């Protein structure tokens, strides 16, 4: 693709989001990259099977354009988009692990990821050890001759914990295992894991990368070699992203920095308000000085993310009453959109876990997760004030 050269180390993120991977001269003079929905393209002599232009093979011109933009934003050599965030995680693990291999998983995870690791991984012959996100001794004790990967989330869902990410990347390099991080909650606006040594970065692009609550997609970024292996597995399992969804995702990426920074501002302002309110028992937000990982988040991140959780005083009844009293946010799962969303993870994102598993992770039934949109922070605070007052 005839794209301009951008130095991702020096070009401002806002500029990269708009111009990275955009061809010059533009196709037909259009400043918006066209959508190629076609499945059939003329083949070129000498092409390998994986080079044929075909949607399932992730080689459609619209898919290639999206991959180049995603790689530029994460500061990676290459990227591949998938049909969902779970497809990104599972395909990455499938490309990394074989039957009999072992993966270390640090901290708590999105419910779907946790369910896959506890239910499907054993069926694939994988061994999984869950360890503390800061417990270096436990990491070392978990190591086995066939340990091949270390998996972690940048900001955990839904308790917003921040693991010792630099330590995990260094530990993985020291032991020659693949470090994999789910960067969905942070986005590359807040944190770029490759800069501290992570091998593979995954996203649910359904969330903030797209930002408009109108598509489902996933992303994996890494070296050309690693993404080549992942794309090969993805081609065989058929979890490729449709070009039209990719077209919408590329559109959403152009405003990523503007959206995420507004969301971060509103999120922290609201968290500070809730922390000081008598109707709130606990707030989990890494931007708060009271958060156990505040210092680490401040050192690593540019902002603290848009998603946090809290517990009202009064248990589940109070939580449900609060959800009914709010007027601005939608009571709905998912996150990262321009509109604020609020939900109880126990009945949505983490409903696949048993009650005992949730309690062990600190995901209590009255826990509320809030995804901050781009609304004015003062309006969000006023809405919570009236709902808590009621």
DSSP 208-271: TTT-SS----EEEEE-HHHHHHHHHHHHHHT-BPPHHHHHHHHHHHTTHHHHHHHHHHHHHHHH
How many Å apart are CA 252 and CA 206, to the nearest integer? 10
Cβ burial, residue 258 (10 Å; 0-12/13-18/19+)? middle
Point out the catalytic residue in the list 164, 182, 242, 366. Answer: 182
- Contact at 8 Å (CB) between 242 and 55? yes
Beta strand 218-222 with 78-82 is antiparallel
Residue 210 sits at the vertex; the CA angle it makes with 4 and 158, to the nearest 5 degrees, is 130
Residue 5 has a pLDDT of: 45
pLDDT reported for residue 7? 57
* Catalytic, out of 56, 146, 229, 251: 56
Provide the token pair at 208. Answer: 């903030």
pTM here is 0.94
Is the distance from CB of 215 to CB of 208 less than 8 angstroms?
A: no
334: which 2 tokens?
């998912």
Please name each of the domains of the chain with its CATH number: 13-253 (3.40.640.10), 257-389 (3.90.1150.10)
> Which is it for strands 218-222 and 200-204: parallel, antiparallel or unpaired?
antiparallel
Note if 36 is an active site residue.
no
54 is catalytic: no
236 three-state secondary structure: helix
Non-local CB neighbours of 313 within 8 Å, separated by 6+ positions: 278, 279, 280, 281
β-pairing verdict for 147-153 and 127-131 = unpaired
Q: Is 110 a catalytic residue?
A: yes
pLDDT at position 10: 59
* Residues 329, 342 contacting (CB under 8 angstroms): yes
The active-site residue, picked from 36, 110, 304, 366, is 110
- The one-digit pLDDT tens for each residue of the chain (390 residues) are 444 445 555 589 999 999 999 988 888 889 999 999 999 888 888 888 878 898 999 999 999 999 999 999 999 999 999 999 999 999 999 999 999 999 999 988 988 999 999 999 999 999 999 999 999 999 999 999 999 999 999 999 899 999 999 999 999 999 999 999 999 999 999 999 999 999 999 999 999 999 999 999 999 999 999 999 999 999 999 999 999 999 999 999 999 999 999 999 999 999 999 999 999 999 999 999 999 999 999 999 999 999 999 999 999 999 999 999 999 999 999 999 999 999 999 888 888 778 888 888 888 899 999 999 999 999 999 999 999 998
Given this model, what pLDDT does residue 9 score? 58
Write down the catalytic residue from 53, 192, 207, 231: 207
The C-alpha atoms of residue 350 and residue 37 are separated, in whole angstroms, by 35
CA 35, chain centre distance (Å): 25
């Amino acid at each position: 693709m005839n794209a301009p050269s951008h130095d991702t180390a020096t070009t401002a993120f806002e500029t990269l989001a708009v111009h990275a991977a955009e061809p010059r001269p533009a196709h037909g003079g259009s400043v918006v990259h066209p959508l190629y929905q076609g499945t059939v393209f003329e083949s070129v002599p000498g092409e390998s099977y994986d080079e044929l232009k075909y949607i399932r093979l992730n080689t459609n011109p619209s898919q290639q354009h999206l991959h180049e933009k995603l790689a530029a934003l994460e500061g990676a050599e290459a990227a591949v988009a998938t049909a969902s965030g779970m497809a990104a995680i599972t395909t990455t693990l499938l490309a990394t692990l074989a039957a009999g291999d072992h993966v270390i998983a640090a901290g708590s995870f999105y419910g779907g990821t946790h369910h896959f690791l506890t239910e499907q991984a054993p069926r694939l012959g994988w061994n999984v050890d869950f360890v503390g996100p800061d417990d270096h001794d436990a990491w070392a004790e978990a190591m086995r001759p066939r340990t091949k990967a270390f998996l972690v989330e940048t900001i955990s869902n839904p308790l917003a914990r921040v693991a010792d990410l630099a330590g995990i990347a260094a530990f993985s390099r020291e032991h020659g295992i693949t470090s994999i991080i789910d960067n969905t909650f942070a986005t590359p606006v807040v944190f770029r894991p490759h800069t501290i040594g992570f091998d593979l970065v995954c996203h649910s692009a359904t969330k903030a990368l797209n930002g408009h609550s109108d598509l489902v997609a996933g992303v994996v970024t890494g070296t050309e070699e690693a993404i080549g292996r992942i794309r090969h597995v993805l081609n065989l399992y058929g979890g490729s992203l449709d070009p039209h969804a990719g077209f919408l995702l590329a559109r959403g990426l152009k405003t990523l920095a503007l959206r995420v920074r507004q969301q971060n501002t509103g999120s922290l302002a609201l968290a500070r308000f809730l922390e000081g309110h008598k109707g709130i028992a606990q707030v989990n937000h890494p931007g708060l000085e009271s958060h156990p990982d505040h210092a680490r988040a401040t050192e690593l991140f540019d902002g603290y993310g848009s998603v946090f959780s809290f517990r009202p005083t009064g248990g589940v009844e109070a939580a449900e009453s609060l959800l009914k009293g709010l007027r601005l946010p939608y009571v709905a799962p998912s996150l990262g959109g321009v509109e604020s969303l609020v939900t109880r993870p126990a009945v949505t994102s983490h409903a696949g876990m048993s009650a005992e598993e949730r309690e062990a992770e600190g995901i209590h039934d009255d826990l509320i997760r809030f995804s901050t949109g781009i609304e004015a922070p003062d309006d969000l605070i006023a809405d919570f004030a009236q709902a808590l007052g009621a």
